[in-house]
Structure 1
Amino acid sequence: MTSAFPTATRYAPRGMVCTVDHLATAAGVDVLADGGNAVDAAIAAHAVLAVTAPHLCGLGGDLFALVHDGAGAPAALDASGRAGSGADPDRLRAEGHTAMPFHGDIRSVPVPGCVDGILALHARYGTRELADLVAPAVRLAEEGFPASPILVRPATRLEGVDGAGDLLAATHAGAVVRRPGVARTLRGIAAHGRDAFYGGEFGAGLLALGAVGARDGARPEYDAADLGRHQADWVTPISAPAWGHTLWSTPAASQGYLLLLAAEVADGLALPDDADDPLWAHLLVEASRAAGHDRLDVLHEGAAPLADAAALRAEIDPDRRTPHFDPQQRDGDTTYLCAVDGDGLAVSLIQSNAAGFGSLLFEPSTGINLQNRGVGFNLRPGHPAEYGPGRRPPHTLTPALVTRADGSLRAVVGTMGVDSQPQLLLQVVARLLAGDATAGEAIGSPRWRLHGGATGFDTWEDAVRVEVERGSTWADGLRARGHEVVEAAEGVGFGHAHLIEVTDEGVRAGAADPRAVIGAASGV
């Protein structure tokens, strides 16, 4: 098996945390070592990431999570924000927009759901005081943290952006960055709950930005009732069988169904034992295209888009690309973390600004950057995902969890990667479940992704090409089967995937994606 990034599998007897940043992983592991559970550890790790990784996630974004507590179905949390009551698609169309603005426009900023999500997780599963869980993050924000190599380059985009001044200190790896506004906000949330955020300093700033964005006397994007509405809901998870296991994810408007449907399709195909064989890549590419070709039509809040896997599977030719799996009509960044404790409680948590620093708008008093998750909305009149008041946009976020036939936990897994998340996870899961790969092999092996647009959020708008990591063995074989193939630099655009599995012996085995440079899987 070719390894793009030789990756060690880390083993621990009682618990493990895996994140994109070793500082966040350490905070979570400390919680486990002190007797906290996996949700406590995930909250502590997430709080650190909200400080140190604003180019990936933060309090101004959204969150999804799966929590496995014993055998059976996991609990699923949708903490994705809704558009404000002033959302007006006609106004955008009158201005000439055919798609939601990508940067610099408050109308692409739904009310952030992240804080409500963390509070919902803590209320249901937390065993430690929230103030204690966020204390490491507060300390890093107040005393300063060393800028990571993956923060430095995106921070150069923030010159002149109102409210982003703290992050301009990230001039080189190791430069000390302080974020007092984020520390103040975390302290407030720990002491006073959601009111300290949505009804406090941050909320006042968001309302002001929404009012400034109201042009020509139009209604402001948000009002106080929008911020008073809870953005987090416990929902029914979705599942599908694959390779003798059950795969779980969050329902629409998450695109998690794409992973489940593609895996169910692929499970009935004759995958080669050797994942370096181009046929292996071709069959998974076709399974992904089959699952996603109508994504723009069917994905919206409240949808149930799981299709007939057997019917889709029957259309796949092992020798040729299937033309009608192209999109039927024309119509970032994220971070994932997972934790498993010694009692078997497990968390698969994904949190995002959408694209990098999101909208490139910051709430200026706290320095918290705002997501641009509203780019998932549609501006076609009458479309089920049309931008409008109180609606949630379609989401790329795809947390995943795998259980055995008896309902016990096999793995928690996820990745960043915008539209490509289900495709990247399909490869990791196929290697783990069908190929008996170790966690390190599943994470470190080469990947492909489907990519058809300029932003990573527009994959399904046209006939998609297959991008493969340079050094993989698939390109010629995929071209011979009719795919348009691009060989891309290793690690660029192929996600930061993280995985923790529970072995048959009950050991926690995990791997952090080396593409993230500073990620870490560690345990107790």
Structure 2
Amino acid sequence: MILNPRRCAGSGGSASGRPAAGARARTLLNVHNTRYAPSGMVCSVDHLASAAGLSMLERGGSAADAAIAANAVLSVVAPHMCGLGGDLFALVHDGGVSALNASGRAGSGADPVRLRAEGHRRMPHLHDVRSVPVPGCVDGWAALHQRHGRLPMADLLAPAIRLADGGFPASPLMVAGALNAARRPGGSDFAGVRAAGDRVTRPGVARALRAVAERGRDGFYLGEFGQGLIGLGAGEYTEADLATPGADWVEPLKTRAYGHDVWSMPPNSQGYLLLMSLAIADGLDLPASPHHPAWAHLLAEAARVAGHDRLDLLHEGAKDLLDRDEIARRRALIDPRSRLRLRTPAEQGDTTYLCAVDGDGMGVSLIQSNASGFGSMVFEPRTGINLHNRGIGFSLKPGHPAEYGPGRRPPHTLTPALITRRDGTLRAVAGTMGGDAQPQILLQVITRLLRHGEQPGPALAAPRWRLGTGGTGFDTWEAPDDAVLDLEEGGSWADGLGALGHRVAALPSGSSFGHAHVIDVRPDGMLAGAADPRSLVGSAIGR
């Protein structure tokens, strides 16, 4: 069944702005540019951020330095996607693969009983500080810099500080949410934003970045920002919550797919969904052409059988999510001739991704997020930093392993990816924004890259599908059999998918289908990268 076109809801890590209108979007997505560079590359959603990262590579910095510098700029110029008030995950290839979890924990005052007594069945989506775990971004920078940095932190943050003080042009995707942000207490930085290119200054963010440059993570968490957060929380957080570093180096997950090892984050990230979907798809008889409806059908079914029980399985302590026998069992459920009825009882971005590779072969796949657009739409009052709402991943069901509670990390949609060859050398770094859809988007991009041999530019510009709900973008798995296949305009799958039993909806091209970026490392060491054209101002640049 083909549904009428409908406006996308936020897909957190989702629709960080309105989808680009038809003709304009089609023009953008026809840009298949793959950039090449011999000794270093940075891809991000904003050209100012990519330029800052590249400048660190040119000064002898590592890929980690470039990633921190680019992310710091994004924390200033892309508050509708990420920032100092959000969380961070990263994968690093430096001979081996390591994983950094810098997602924040709920404060000591987290009280699920109180929320349930107020009538909440799920965590508040907006305007409630209880959905704001302690932001992990700055702790992530500190940990990444300590292990892999070469340049002083002050140098890495200098471009971001200059932009926050002197001003930067509002991006087209910021404008959509800036008016609402400006109406919230603490959101005055965005009061003058009316159109793309308007100058924006963020003096409070500049002060916070200077505090990090001068005093490290304590300058942020125990300084002006931290004290403002404690006051705003009114008991949700203690100074001890903020004094404890919140970033951990953890063991990454990996799976074998398309002749490569694909790596992602362990729980509390949903990275296992990407890896399970790829492992399932690797054993399916995919058509030779991605234009065939069966290609979209089989990949979408792989994503559905991988994720239908995510709400039950994903929590910080989840183990053994990539069991080979279970992957085979789920693969066997897929019917190439029709959509599967799961019959599973259901319980009741924004995000930005960037990647960097340096001349020594270090690769960094970094994803950083507010969750929904400007996040919770709660602003720390002293610095004006908007706070994420990653706490929406918690459950309010008593006894659930992901129940909201003191010191706990919520289930997370953030899903960075890193790919290595059989000999362990770096093949690619990849990631996207997109809320629940992040594994689905990467499943398509990585399949195009590895299975079909596409270059990064065409692989990113190609039309996409996603499992849609018309809701927040974080509710896909509440009723997995009700999900519609949202199809981006320009695709060739609609009629064939309808015949296979899918309900499909045509949507305009745009950021609701993610902002993915890829750097592919060729066997001779040449770098081939691309930034997603849906980001409008994204940039892949190298040296």
Q: How would you bin the TM-score normalised by the shorter chain?
A: over 0.9
Of 326-335 and 148-157, more deviation after overlay is shown by 326-335
Q: Which residue of 2 aligns with 1:487?
A: 506
Task: Point out where structure 2 has 5 or more consecutive residues left out of the alignment.
Answer: 1-25
Deviation at 1:493, TM superposition (A): 1.0
Deviation track 1:96-139 (CA, whole Å, cap 9, x = no partner) reads 00010000101000000110000000000100000011101100
Match of 1:237 among 252, 255, 266: 252
Would the aligned equivalents of 1:149 and 1:172 in 2 still touch at CA under 8 Å? yes
Match of 2:315 among 282, 296, 300: 300
Q: Does 1:389 align with 2:406?
A: yes
- Of structures 1 and 2, the one scoring higher in RCO (CA 8 A, sep 6+) is 2
Deviation at 1:452, TM superposition (A): 2.3
Partner of 2:454, secondary structure, is coil
Deviation at 1:327, TM superposition (A): 4.7
Q: Which residue of 2 aligns with 1:380?
A: 397
Backbone CA RMSD of aligned residues: 1.2
Partner of 2:513, secondary structure, is coil
* Aligned pairs (5 A) from 1:186-205: 186-205=209-228
Q: Does 1:147 align with 2:170?
A: yes
Of 160-169 and 119-128, more deviation after overlay is shown by 160-169
Q: Does 1:118 align with 2:141?
A: yes
* Aligned pairs (5 A) from 1:110-509: 110-211=133-234, 220-304=235-319, 305-307=321-323, 308-324=326-342, 327-462=344-479, 463=481, 464-509=483-528
Q: Does 1:21 align with 2:46?
A: yes
Q: Read off the aligned partner of 1:44 and give its amino acid letter.
A: A
Would the aligned equivalents of 1:293 and 1:328 in 2 still touch at CA under 8 Å? no
Deviation at 1:306, TM superposition (A): 2.2
Deviation at 1:331, TM superposition (A): 2.5
Q: Which residue of 1 aligns with 2:23?
A: none
Deviation track 1:256-290 (CA, whole Å, cap 9, x = no partner) reads 00000000000010111110000000000010001
* Aligned pairs (5 A) from 1:75-114: 75-114=98-137
Q: Read off the aligned partner of 2:244 and give its amino acid letter.
A: R
Q: Does 1:521 align with 2:540?
A: yes
Would the aligned equivalents of 1:296 and 1:331 in 2 still touch at CA under 8 Å? no
Deviation track 1:177-216 (CA, whole Å, cap 9, x = no partner) reads 11111111111101101111110100011001111xxxxx
Partner of 1:297, secondary structure, is helix
Match of 2:66 among 41, 45, 66: 41
Assess, with a 3 A threshold, how the Cα gap between structure 1 residues 318 and 362 changes in structure 2: closer, same or farther.
Answer: same
Partner of 2:71, secondary structure, is helix
Deviation at 1:329, TM superposition (A): 1.8
Query: TM-score if structure 1 supplies the norm length?
Result: 0.96
Q: Read off the aligned partner of 1:32 and give its amino acid letter.
A: L
Would the aligned equivalents of 1:498 and 1:512 in 2 still touch at CA under 8 Å? yes
Partner of 2:505, secondary structure, is strand
Counterparts of 1:301 and 1:461, CA distance in 2: 19
Q: Read off the aligned partner of 1:65 and give its amino acid letter.
A: A
Counterparts of 2:227 and 2:124, CA distance in 1: 23
Counterparts of 1:383 and 1:452, CA distance in 2: 24
Q: Which residue of 1 aligns with 2:6?
A: none
Would the aligned equivalents of 1:38 and 1:341 in 2 still touch at CA under 8 Å? yes
Would the aligned equivalents of 2:511 and 2:535 in 1 still touch at CA under 8 Å? no
Of 446-455 and 38-47, more deviation after overlay is shown by 446-455
Counterparts of 1:453 and 1:235, CA distance in 2: 34
Counterparts of 2:499 and 2:397, CA distance in 1: 37
Would the aligned equivalents of 2:29 and 2:534 in 1 still touch at CA under 8 Å? no
Runs of 4+ in 1 over 3 A off after TM superposition: 2-5
Counterparts of 2:283 and 2:197, CA distance in 1: 49
Counterparts of 1:492 and 1:355, CA distance in 2: 13
Of 397-406 and 327-336, more deviation after overlay is shown by 327-336
Q: Read off the aligned partner of 2:369 and give its amino acid letter.
A: S
Q: Read off the aligned partner of 2:532 and give its amino acid letter.
A: D
Deviation track 1:392-437 (CA, whole Å, cap 9, x = no partner) reads 0000000000001111110000000000000000000000000000
Partner of 1:354, secondary structure, is coil
Query: TM-score if structure 2 supplies the norm length?
Result: 0.93
Would the aligned equivalents of 1:355 and 1:372 in 2 still touch at CA under 8 Å? yes
Counterparts of 1:495 and 1:340, CA distance in 2: 22
Q: Read off the aligned partner of 1:417 and give its amino acid letter.
A: G
Deviation at 1:453, TM superposition (A): 4.8
Counterparts of 1:430 and 1:184, CA distance in 2: 43
Partner of 1:222, secondary structure, is coil
Partner of 1:450, secondary structure, is strand
Would the aligned equivalents of 2:274 and 2:440 in 1 still touch at CA under 8 Å? yes
Would the aligned equivalents of 1:453 and 1:459 in 2 still touch at CA under 8 Å? no
Partner of 1:241, secondary structure, is strand
Deviation at 1:150, TM superposition (A): 1.2
Counterparts of 2:42 and 2:314, CA distance in 1: 32
Deviation at 1:170, TM superposition (A): 2.0
